[in-house]
Amino acid sequence: MTFSQSVKTCFSKYCSFRGRASRSEYWWWIVFTFVVAIIFGIPSGIQSLHESSASGLPVISYVVGALLLLPNLGVLIRRLHDTGRSGWWWLIGFIPFLGSIILIVFCCQASQPFPNQYGVVPE
């Protein structure tokens, strides 16, 4: 899956927590959200250094982050499904440091090469 296909797929499955997501779909989406965070985060951070100037930039950053929350969660859950795990494993991310490492390891693992209880093998 290409970068643009991944972004289109994740937005088209905005609130979809069913099915499976390939490694490429997941990691291209992560790259996209990272770039968006940089685009909105750096100007927002610079603007916050100048407290005398009022701007809506930090608010826009929060809105963009909120809009990306559900697609991020959806693609993570679908990625966990692709490795044969329940989507509830995303909750392990709340364990400081260790939870994030475990989720990264899970998301780096290869897809199950056969249909599983969550659906067929993604392309």
Tell me if 114 is assigned to some domain.
no
The Cα 70–Cα 81 span in angstroms is 16
Tell me if 115 is assigned to some domain.
no
Find the domain containing 65 and state its range. 3-108
Confidence tier at 116 by pLDDT (50, 70, 90): very high
Backbone angles phi, psi at 115, to 5 degrees: -60, 140
Residue 58 pLDDT greater than 90, yes or no = no
The Cα 99–Cα 18 span in angstroms is 22
Tell me if 122 is assigned to some domain.
no
Q: Which of 51, 93, 60 is nearest to 76 (CA)?
A: 93
Task: List CB contacts of 97: < 8 A, sequence separation 6 or more.
Answer: none
Q: Give per-residue pLDDT as tens, 76-115.
A: 999 999 999 999 999 999 999 999 999 999 999 999 999 9
Tell me if 60 is assigned to some domain.
yes
Tell me if 85 is assigned to some domain.
yes
Tell me if 117 is assigned to some domain.
no
Please state the domain count of the chain: 1
